[in-house]
Chains A and B, each alone.
Chain A
Amino acid sequence: MIKSNRVLIVVILATLLLAALPFVGLNLYLVSFLFLLMMNISLTVGWNIIGGYAGYVSFGHVAFVGVGGYTTAVLLAKFNLSPIITTPLAGIVAALVALVVGYPALRLRGPYFSLITLVISLAIAAVVLNIPGINAASGIFLSAPSGDIHSSRLILFEMMVVVLLFTILCAYFIEKSKFGIGLKAIREDEVVAATQGVNTTNLKLLAFVISGGLAGIVGGVFSWYKGLVFVDAMFSVNISVMIVLMALLGGTHSWIGAVVGSVLVMVINEFLTLSIGSNLSQIIFGILLVVTILFIPNGIVGWIEAQMHKFKKKAKG
């Protein structure tokens, strides 16, 4: 127990430090970069609840980001409700959508599940584009949180810090709980898990709903950050794919892997894009992905754990 409390304290201290960063004079570029970094960490950690713990690799998580984003966008544009209040609502709407689509989709396994989630995200994007009265095709304009760009970015930044902390705490407690152990049992062997009395259907669905809800919350903040909301951007397949890559690179068995993967991908991507241009950096990125899946299929954290395990074995004799 002492050890797990220590992890919690580190997480909370790190979050406080992160929250204080913009006040010590970071420029606008770094604040924006950190915002996107936190957004991707939140998405990946949230995705990992169904994709990593339960092993149901969703390629359509952007659907929930988009649904959450459009919830806050419509509420702000039509009813002038601030996303600070409505972001939790975005999460609830996304969770409801996850409940409706998850029930049939989770009956499929392996690549079929990945494909159906991908298609569902495309279908939801097409539905949102055709909802009458919200002008999705021409884009929704959202007024900024504040007249001044610095304080606008600051408000959004602090909102994302809260979302990030909430997501990590969710993942942390799920990982430690009986629920999390049930999910891991599903990942290892679903049939055996079911015969051992794990209610696999409900567990998977709950994990999918939580995961989708968390993505919806992130989307709620993201659409405000965007300012002008388009279906193509909010439902971009790229976001779904990036989430999977980040989780895979870091390792999907714990939330720490998701954090490590997102930080690495975001930093490497930003560095390469700035130094050698977008195309070349994407080429290197693609090759990096090939190398990752070939040589460290369990991700960086999984690889480090395996090395430590070997080391301990050697030390014992």
Chain B
Amino acid sequence: MVELMQAILSGFLIGLAYALLSVGFSLNWGAVGGINVSHSAWAVFGAYIAYFVTSQLNLNPLLSLVIIIPLFFLIGVVLNKTLFMFLAKRSKNIGFSSMVLTFGLAVALENIMMWVFTADPRVLKSDFSLTSYNLGSVYISGGQILAALLSIFSLGLIFYFLYHTYTGKAVRAYEQEQAGAALTGINTGKVTSVTTGISLASAGVAGVALSLLFPFEPTIHMTWLINIFLVVLLGGVGNILGTLIGGLAVGMIITVSGVWVPYSLVNLVMFVILILILIIRKRET
């Protein structure tokens, strides 16, 4: 029973980080139509920045956000203005071609990180992330608390942006009807740039959150990407609230089923659930 409680709690906390990791991917797919498979590779880059800020400068990992958020937003805008918009003009099938294009980006980024940072697995070590707190019979680490708070705060910010600001509402309008949004005077070029910018910035923040939870290395972005797929397909593409629920579900499925079955079967459980959901919800496609 204690074990189950512990699994549910850590699943919940990890799930929040997965939701943050997936929200930008989902938003980008839903609003712009681009499937950015390099999303998780950027998150790994964010994790490295947090790692070096902590280990080299002896600062709090959260301070890395001061660099990460503007930098990643800018990278997103630049990528959109150069590659994505160019691709959107030329391609008939934006979903597929954006997958291929960003896969190329992911491969390049992964190998640049491999080259610069080496393939050594890194663990972010700071005072609070290694202390654990005792809540009755279950334990919770400082890193988990920080990652969860960071995720909730960022998700809330994205939610506020989308539902309570003009630009955010424009993003949602563009998601629903691209031509209609353009006709009402929404600057579609700006909307797509803001969307990719926010999407990448959220990937960077999620990288920081995940660096507080797990060890990482350049190639781990593939594993993270599969988690993103699971979350987004569970929650529905472009659906922010769905992403949150999907993230929590994935986090808890991983930890809770881990109580009863071996790890290799945990993945199988999740894949089977995903396959069933995809098939049942096929009308949406």
Contact = CB atoms under 8 A, between A and B. Distances in A.
A126 B264 contact: yes
Contacts of A294: 83, 86-87, 90, 101
Interface in B216-241: 222, 226, 229, 233
B268 to A, nearest CB: 4
Contact of A290 (B104, B275, B278, B285): B104
B93 interface: yes
Interface in A174-196: none
B100 A283 contact: no
Interface string A118-134: 11101100110110000
Chain A interface residue bracket vs B = 35 or more
A233 interface: no
B260 to A, nearest CB: 14
B168 interface: no
Q: Which of B83, B90, B271 has the most CB of A within 10 A?
A: B271
Contacts of A119: 226, 229, 271, 274-275, 278
Nearest to B279: A104
Given A112-B285, A294-B86, A126 B271 contact: yes
A127 B278 contact: no
A282 interface: yes
A280 B271 CA distance: 34
A162 interface: no
B222 A289 contact: no
A237 B86 CA distance: 29
A113 to B, nearest CB: 9
A24 interface: no
Q: Is the interface of B mostly helix, strand, loop or mixed?
A: helix
Interface string B241-271: 0000000000000000000000011011001
B194 interface: no
Contact of B97 (A108, A123, A287, A297): A297
B138 interface: no
Interface residues of B, number: 41
Contacts of A283: 107-108, 111-112, 115
A110 interface: yes
Contacts of A109: 285
Nearest to B276: A104
B114 interface: yes
Contacts of A57: 96
A114 interface: yes
Interface string B100-142: 1101111111111011000000000000000000000000000
Given A107-B279, A110-B285, A126 B267 contact: yes
B150 to A, nearest CB: 28
B229 A130 contact: no
A40 to B, nearest CB: 17
Contacts, number: 119
A283 B90 CA distance: 24
Q: Is the interface of A mostly helix, strand, loop or mixed?
A: helix
B272 interface: yes
A108 B275 contact: no
Contacts of A107: 279, 282
A286 interface: yes
Interface in A209-260: 237, 241, 244-245, 248
Given A110-B96, A115-B278, A282 B271 contact: no
A279 interface: yes
A123 B271 contact: yes
A300 to B, nearest CB: 15
B35 interface: yes
B37 to A, nearest CB: 10
A120 B264 contact: no
A285 interface: yes
Q: Which of B86, B100, B275 has the most CB of A within 10 A?
A: B100
A109 B283 CA distance: 10
A238 to B, nearest CB: 9
Contacts of A126: 264-265, 267-268, 271
A251 B90 CA distance: 16
Contacts of A108: 278-279, 282, 285
Contacts of B222: 237
A11 B93 CA distance: 33
Contacts of A84: none
Contact of B267 (A122, A237, A287, A288): A122
Interface string A37-81: 000000000000000000001000000000000000000000000
Contact of A288 (B99, B104, B112): B104
B101 A122 contact: no
A301 interface: no
Given A104-B279, A126-B271, A282-B108, 15 more contacts: A108-B282, A108-B285, A110-B96, A110-B285, A122-B271, A130-B264, A241-B103, A283-B108, A283-B115, A286-B104, A286-B109, A287-B108, A293-B87, A294-B83, A294-B87
Interface of B: 35, 83, 86-87, 90-91, 93, 95-97, 99-101, 103-112, 114-115, 222, 226, 229, 233, 264-265, 267-268, 271-272, 274-275, 278-279, 282, 285
16 contacts: A112-B282, A112-B285, A119-B226, A127-B268, A245-B100, A279-B115, A283-B115, A285-B108, A286-B104, A286-B106, A289-B103, A290-B105, A292-B100, A293-B101, A294-B83, A297-B91
Report, nearest first, the 6 A-B pairs whose CB atoms are least far apart.
A289-B104, A286-B108, A286-B107, A123-B271, A282-B111, A290-B104
